[in-house]
Chain A
Amino acid sequence: MSKTIWVLVELENGQPARSSLEVLGKAAQLGSAEAIVLGSNAAAVAPTLGEYGAEKVYIHADPVYDTYLTLPAVDTVSELLKQHQPALLLLATTYDLRDIAARLNARNNMGLITDATDLQFEGDTLQVTVPWGGENIVTAAFPEQGTGIVLTRPKAFGLERQEGKTAGVETISPSLNAASQQIKILDRVEVQSEGPSLEDASVVVSGGRGLGKAENFHLIEELAAALGGAPGATRAIVDAGWLPYSYQVGQTGKTVKPTLYIACGISGAIQHLAGMKGSKYIVAINKDEHAPIFSVVDLGVVGDVLTILPQLTTEVKKRKAQ
């Protein structure tokens, strides 16, 4: 019998997040995908969710989910879990869904696997693929009966759209608990950055400790701008306070898969490699010829980023102008 896989769909400005649609496509490959969508625009997006793989969509079109983080969604999914026993709850790894997953796991004693890059059923047992460090791939499973939660790594799956495919819709009316309306969003601020976003850029130029100091990061920004790409950073320099968290590429930050990734002054810590190894072409500049980054490059340069970066930016501009 086909397994039922639930996907909690995140809405961004009232529309399904791309990451949720990717996960929905994977769920449809694994079994019978059912989406749960919560928020004032929930009903309007149900047809879209059908096209991206949902056979059924549970909707609760209430604005409480737009204003109050985490707790109302945890209440509603927990209530649904009392009525149905899906084989799996599959979630994209995003800020909001991670918060929801952590509480669902604790409230319902579920079992949870994070950072999955693939999943498959072997008979009744779900096998979850999780990269660990740079060397290993772990296969994990839930030994107990009951619904488990799996959070998937960003960009692990592509979009699967079947135009015209429709989903059955079930409108649910869970009781909303006033005590769960505690974490209130007062204000949303979008920070406009020039050029493409880190996740969507086809070229990413990232800097690490080898830049020496925060003031040298402009060299990264200038090369990124010349190539029409986005600047990124390692956790080390984000932790050091040089740049905000939004710049971080790596297992904990953003996973990027650009056509071209240029790593500048980055040694290649495992956590960073995890976030960029999927890039099509990788170029690295680093002083230390033994730096682990050189094991994943297409072209590596042993040299000083502070010397080479300005030369490269000039050269790129010159050749682009020709």
Chain B
Amino acid sequence: MKMYVCIKQIPDPNTVVSKLDPNTRRLVRSGVSLVLDPGDESTISAAISLRDTIGNSELTAVSMGPTSTQEAMRRALAMGADRAVLVTDPALAGSDALSTARVLAAVLKKEEPDLVFCSTESTDGYTGMVPGGIAEFLGLPQLTFAREITIEGQKAVIKRVTQTGYQTVESQLPAVITIASGSFEAIYPTMKGIMGAKKKPFTQLSLADLGIDASEVGEAGARERVMAIGKVEARAAGQVIKDDGSAAQAIADFLQRYQLL
């Protein structure tokens, strides 16, 4: 089977507070450490394990972003993906979710995938709108919020997370599947994997290679505009105490005072 996983490089969510540049009104990416989205690590791992279970399959990592994204893609290869395709083009800066979906779908269309995996949403933008957009542009069904996946012949069956439990949902292949965060344990790359990643096929494409006009994407093609950036009103600081052995009493006193017990 031809399997694909769409990934993203983002500012490290564990070290930085995401900031907006007041001039460009875009996410600040310079001077912050960039990593493969932690959610994608889990998604890549789910895809690798399915590839290995099904057998005779190939997994390709696909991404769109500045050239620094190569690093995140190398990590996907080190984890076990077989090859990588990166779309990078200066005209893509400022792309909205729809343009991102359009570009990724253009790559995937040429590849004729059986299965496309995405994380439910990225850990920086959180819109969660790219996978559904890709599915729509490819004309494929989307199986979303998957916490378990089974492939039976030309059918995919997933357990789909809901507010109150889960649904069992099926669709024919090809299909786009999104992975609910935390459902699959991330694989850590081995030294052998890291060394091997350098020899794996890595394709870099521009918008021209995909036949997409620069006016359809990037800031020029965005259908939403940031009009103003304001500051959040800070919550008044409360009292902070150090535990000297009586903290449990202090908390219980607090709860009692506000009738929370």
A binds B: yes
- Interface residues in B181-215 (C-beta closer than 8 Å to A): 181-183, 185
Name the one of A106, A189, A245, A251 contacting B98, with C-beta atoms under 8 angstroms.
Answer: A106
Q: A189, B167: Cβ atoms under 8 Å?
A: yes
B-side contacts of A103, CB under 8 Å: 132-133, 135-136, 142
Q: B224, A295: Cβ atoms under 8 Å?
A: no
User: DSSP class of B's interface residues: helix, strand, loop or mixed?
Assistant: mixed
Name the one of B102, B143, B228, B230 contacting A183, with C-beta atoms under 8 angstroms.
Answer: B143
A-side contacts of B38, CB under 8 Å: 239
Q: B169, A142: Cβ atoms under 8 Å?
A: no
**Residues 94-128 of chain B, each 1 if its beta carbon lies under 8 Å from chain A, else 0:** 00111001100000000000000000110100111
Q: B231, A138: Cβ atoms under 8 Å?
A: no
Q: A187, B226: Cβ atoms under 8 Å?
A: no
Q: A187, B251: Cβ atoms under 8 Å?
A: no
B-side contacts of A184, CB under 8 Å: 169-171
A-side contacts of B157, CB under 8 Å: 186
Given known pairs A190-B164, A302-B241, the reply for A312 and B145 (CB within 8 Å) is no
**Residues 63-96 of chain B, each 1 if its beta carbon lies under 8 Å from chain A, else 0:** 0000000000000000000000000000000001
Q: B260, A307: Cβ atoms under 8 Å?
A: no
Q: A114, B133: Cβ atoms under 8 Å?
A: no
B-side contacts of A142, CB under 8 Å: 223-225
User: A260: CB under 8 A from chain B?
Assistant: yes
The stretch that binds B, out of A42-50, A81-89, A126-134, is A126-134
Given known pairs A191-B164, A269-B13, A277-B235, the reply for A240 and B247 (CB within 8 Å) is no
Q: A127, B261: Cβ atoms under 8 Å?
A: no
Q: A197 to B18: give the CA distance in the assembly, Å.
A: 31
Q: A298 to B237: give the CA distance in the assembly, Å.
A: 7
User: A203: CB under 8 A from chain B?
Assistant: yes
Q: A246 to B247: give the CA distance in the assembly, Å.
A: 30
Interface residues on chain B, number (Cβ under 8 Å): 84
The chain B residue sitting closest to A320, CB to CB, is B261
Q: A289, B226: Cβ atoms under 8 Å?
A: no
The chain B residue sitting closest to A239, CB to CB, is B182
User: A111: CB under 8 A from chain B?
Assistant: yes
Name the one of B123, B136, B230, B261 contacting A139, with C-beta atoms under 8 angstroms.
Answer: B230
Q: A143 to B226: give the CA distance in the assembly, Å.
A: 10
B-side contacts of A69, CB under 8 Å: 169
The stretch that binds B, out of A1-9, A21-29, A93-101, A169-177, is A93-101
User: B32: CB under 8 A from chain A?
Assistant: no
User: A141: CB under 8 A from chain B?
Assistant: yes
Q: A188, B167: Cβ atoms under 8 Å?
A: yes
Q: A297 to B250: give the CA distance in the assembly, Å.
A: 14
User: A135: CB under 8 A from chain B?
Assistant: yes
Q: B258, A110: Cβ atoms under 8 Å?
A: no
Q: A315, B132: Cβ atoms under 8 Å?
A: no
Distance (whole angstroms) from the CB of B24 to the closest CB of chain A: 13
Q: A138, B226: Cβ atoms under 8 Å?
A: yes
B-side contacts of A308, CB under 8 Å: 243, 247-248, 251
Q: B225, A133: Cβ atoms under 8 Å?
A: no
Name the one of A189, A252, A300, A316 contacting B241, with C-beta atoms under 8 angstroms.
Answer: A300
**Residues 297-322 of chain A, each 1 if its beta carbon lies under 8 Å from chain B, else 0:** 11111111001100110111001100
Q: A252 to B161: give the CA distance in the assembly, Å.
A: 13
B-side contacts of A178, CB under 8 Å: none
Q: B227, A140: Cβ atoms under 8 Å?
A: yes
User: A266: CB under 8 A from chain B?
Assistant: no
B-side contacts of A95, CB under 8 Å: 144-145, 160-163
Which A positions have Cβ atoms within 8 angstroms of B? 69-71, 74, 94-95, 98-99, 101-103, 105-107, 109-115, 127, 131-144, 148, 182-191, 197, 199, 203, 227, 235-236, 238-241, 243-246, 248, 251-252, 259-260, 262, 269-271, 277, 281-283, 285, 289, 294-304, 307-308, 311-312, 314-316, 319-320
What are 9 A-B residue pairs whose CB atoms fall within 8 Å in the complex?
A95-B160, A105-B129, A115-B126, A133-B20, A137-B232, A203-B260, A269-B14, A277-B235, A303-B243
| Apart from A136-B230, A239-B181, A307-B243, 14 more pairs, CB < 8 Å | A102-B132, A110-B223, A111-B98, A134-B17, A136-B20, A142-B224, A248-B181, A283-B254, A285-B247, A300-B240, A301-B240, A302-B240, A311-B248, A316-B261
5 A-B pairs with least C-beta separation: A102-B132, A303-B243, A111-B223, A311-B248, A300-B240
